[in-house]
Structure 1
Amino acid sequence: MNSRVTRPAGFAPSTVYSTQTLRVATYNIHKGVRGVGPRKRLEIHNLGLGIEALDADLVFLQEVRLFHAREARRFDHTWLGWPEGGQAEFLAPQGYESAYRTNAVTRHGEHGNALLSRWPIGDIGHHDVSDHRFEQRGLLHVPVTWQGLKLHAVVAHFGLIHASRVRQVQRLADFVSAEVPAGEPVLVAGDFNDWGERLDGLMAEAGLQRAVAPPGQPGARVTFPSRVPVFALDRVYMRGFRCLSTMVPRGSAWARMSDHLPLVVELEQA
């Protein structure tokens, strides 16, 4: 029997949840803007609709703006306009909590990782894993209480160079070992920029298994580039869970909103 039921009063009536299954999405939103030059367009409002449609319990987001003065001026007077406040808070569906920490500070603003959670969150942490001065990278750590279980959500966005990613896996492993009690489940999700599919073994050595659909289940995983996806850059790694299914939404609307597609996985406690 499907245990997915309507949310209690006080939450958006269109959202649902399961007492047994945790639905997780990871999405690189490209700072809510697409295109270049005069063809640049604001997609943050469409992204809000898309994220709500994913109906995930936890949404791991990368390339999220806290603010950007130049983009705000550019889009302030366009249809709907640049949202007030940070993008994480703006994108959170009704009834969700949001957590954000900055990874990179630029000339006109800053951006980083965010978590949107249908479930209560604890103290928000941030761990710098920048490997060199040209790429500012970080891990967002958010404890989440799901069905009375404490799990540790870590939002990641790894570097563009393989050697940097290898060192960032080690820093992630050190962080989890130091900050997460051995018996508590962990989800690490984000954009790993692993074009050559070379990180799974290193993550397994750190005690984190990649969420892949079991045999016989649909297992769409490629997410980049969004118009003609070839690479599985966006992933969920887990400890203490089993993966039931994976899904990547497709179509022109999703291809328009970001250069990545979101990955959605269904999990159950191991």
Structure 2
Amino acid sequence: MNAPSSTFRVATYNIHKGVQGIGPTRRLEIHNLGHAIEQLDADIVCLQEVRKMNRQAAARFRHWPELPQADFLAPEGYTAVYETNAITRHGEHGNALLTRWPVLRKTHQDISDHRFEQRGLLHVAIEVEGRPVHAIVVHLGLIRGSRMRQVALLREFIEREIPSSEALVVAGDFNDWGARMRYAMNAMGLRDTSDLRGARTLTYPSRLPVTQLDFIYGRQVEVVATTVPRGPIWARMSDHLPLVADFVLSKQ
């Protein structure tokens, strides 16, 4: 007998370290981001450019949160999972995942391609109504060759760590102009939401989006809806817009 299908929502969002603007016009947006993430009402929130700490920003902004950003942004009842990708002069930042479902385990792998861009993938296994769902958060490099090598490392990680029969979503900022990484992702059995829904979901830049850099790929799941929140408030908080997708777990 087939198990009943389960629906869950995934969002991916590059929060630009919670700060927007340049020079003296820089402003703190982390508090607004907290309200925005809560409004997304996602079961799994994949975040990039999340600060664990930053001494310079903490000294500059009066209302800088005492908590690491992942913990600060997690809505009530959510678990925050964070791993550092980059250590800088003033602090460190990386990827994070927030979820209202129980966390089974987490893994992190360095996928840096060169010393000027520190990158990593964060893997979190989550229990969704009694079934394991694997989520991988990525932030790929700015250079196409780096992205290709990082996707190859991603494939090796998936083949090594995640059973082919279990549901998987890979979400994040792919820096993938023209969706050129789609072919390599498809070769892993992963399809992205815009590919499956037949419509482009533009996420960058947030004020006037002209392309999609943020993607959610899935395996053993079916996408039923995708949205990109837009408007002046969303344009203000980050240079990216969030991408949100509703999935149904494939029946066993």
TM-score range, shorter chain: over 0.9
Aligned to 1:171: 153
Gaps in structure 2 of 5+ consecutive residues: none
Q: What is the letter of the counterpart of residue 202 of structure 2? A: V
Relative contact order: is structure 1 or structure 2 higher (C-alpha 8 Å, sep ≥ 6)? Answer: 2
Give the aligned partner of residue 7 of structure 1: none
Contact 1:213 1:243 in 2 (8 A): no
Q: Distance in 2 between matches of 1:121 and 1:220?
A: 31
The aligned residue for residue 28 of structure 1 is: 14
Match of 1:264 among 232, 237, 244: 244
Percent identity over the alignment is 57
Asked if 1:231 is matched to 2:231, the reply is no
The secondary structure found in structure 2 opposite 1:245 is strand
Equivalent residue number for residue 103 of structure 2? 121
TM value normalised by structure 2 = 0.95
**Cα distance in 1 for residues equivalent to 2:6 and 2:13:** 23
Distance 1:204 1:220, change over 3 A: closer
2:180 alignment counterpart = 198
> Displacement of 1:20 after TM fit?
2.9
| Residue 123 (structure 1) shift | 2.1
For residue 8 of structure 1, what is the aligned residue in structure 2? none
1:5-29 Cα deviation digits (max 9, x unpaired):
xxxxxxxxxxxxxx73111100000
Deviation at 1:36, TM superposition (A): 1.4
Deviations 1:76-100 (A, max 9, x none): x2xxx00012100000000100100
The CA RMSD over aligned residues, in Å, is: 1.3
Residue number among 33, 41, 57 corresponding to 2:43 in the alignment: 57
In structure 1, runs of 5+ residues without a counterpart are: 1-18
Where do residues 33-182 of structure 1 align in structure 2 (5 Å cutoff)? 33-75=19-61, 77=62, 81-182=63-164
Pair 1:246-2:246 in alignment: no
The total of aligned residue pairs comes to 246
CA distance in 2, matches of 1:247, 1:84: 32
The letter for the 2-side match of 1:152 is H
Contact 2:105/2:126 (<8 A) preserved = no
* Runs of 4+ in structure 1 over 2 Å off: 212-215
